[in-house]
Homo-oligomer: A and B are copies of this chain.
Amino acid sequence: MTMLQTDFQSLIQKAIDSKTKPVGSLGRIEALAAQLARIQNTLMPVAASCGLTLFAGDHGMALAGVSAYPQAVTRQMVMNFLGGGAAANVFARTLGVDVEVVDCGVAGEPINAPSLLSRRLGAGTANAIERPAMTAVELDKALANGRAIGGDSDHDTACFGEMGIGNTSSASLVAAKILGYPVADLVGRGTGLADDGLKRKQALLEAAAGRTPDSLPADHALMEYGGFEIATMTGAMTAAAGAGRVVLVDGFIATVAALCARELSPGCAANFVYAHRSAEAGHARVLEALAAKPLLDLDMRLGEGTGALLAWPLVQAAAAMLRDMASFESAGVSGPA
């Protein structure tokens, strides 16, 4: 930290400690408030509005049988998002969060719906078990699409969610290569594979991982194993952070996008708030590598930004604490005896 940053950090701490409560008694809400102050560079942080962007894309790997669900579910869930019936919609409505849906490359014909943002890179990625999931040109396009979306928003806080049958497989491979871990350490049941399905998924992902060196930089890992929705989300995270927004990082797949975003644009990590600990097996390993301790642990593993959404009220509470709480002085409350 520079001297100015150190000074500002001690100003923040002083402001928090002046509030009418025992020092430290709001725990992680205090740490979150301090992060918001640093992100917005003010002792009066604002968390007034939040938007959820849902990125959807299909995976060539899904046709090889890495998921419990058929590939058609990606498209069906996009229609469900547009109809407002998915968990992400319901949570967002409850919590006053706006939702937009982006087709990054769902299998089949383009989806014709006025409220859908079409940023298709193709009808799904190539089968990454056998060959690179996307070309360098496609990756650059996906990142650029994401930056445009993440950079253009009226919200002070951004949630990013995803939908794509097969994308826990994609995320496991991308994370394994960036972190240099065996892919087996990062494979989980995804949408709910039974034991034999999990074995099959593990074997397929080990074959996929065997195609390339043990360790890859983020852009190569995305190209080899990523999804169009993961790459677009990565771009969106870098730009949202760059624009000074708080980025609520959802579960396993979003955390892998955050891992990529941190590598591609290191400064952006300061704006990331890890929202929840997913029950998907690989998430704990990636969080550990990032030294990230999420706010919530509710045994969820749905994706769609549902975990990020549930952390939004905590961000609002943290901002309000620092901005609106009385101080011992202003309220005439005595300190410790």
Contacts and interface: CB of A to CB of B under 8 A. Distances in A.
A85 B20 contact: yes
Contact of A336 (B23, B192, B326): B192
Contacts of A316: 94-95
A300 B25 contact: yes
B334 A69 contact: yes
Contact of A29 (B79, B80, B93, B298): B298
Contact of A295 (B24, B90, B298): B298
Contact of A299 (B27, B70, B331): B27
Contact of A337 (B70, B90, B320): B70
Contacts of A25: 191-192, 300-302
Interface stretch (A118-126, A255-263, A306-314): A306-314
A279 interface: yes
Contact of A332 (B79, B299, B317): B79
A269 interface: no
Oligomeric state, in copies? 2
Contacts of A73: 333-334
A8 interface: no
Interface residues of A, number: 61
Given A69-B334, A80-B20, A91-B320, A86 B325 contact: yes
A314 to B, nearest CB: 6
A18 B121 CA distance: 33
A87 B310 contact: no
A325 B90 contact: yes
A214 interface: no
13 contacts: A20-B85, A22-B191, A23-B192, A25-B192, A25-B302, A26-B87, A28-B298, A28-B299, A29-B298, A76-B332, A80-B333, A85-B331, A86-B331
A21 interface: yes
Contacts of A326: 80, 83, 85-86
A4 to B, nearest CB: 29
A296 interface: yes
A116 interface: no
A72 to B, nearest CB: 6
B85 A26 contact: no
Nearest to A69: B336
Contacts of A321: 87, 90-91
A201 interface: no
A326 B298 CA distance: 22
Given A310-B317, A320-B90, A337-B69, A27 B76 contact: no
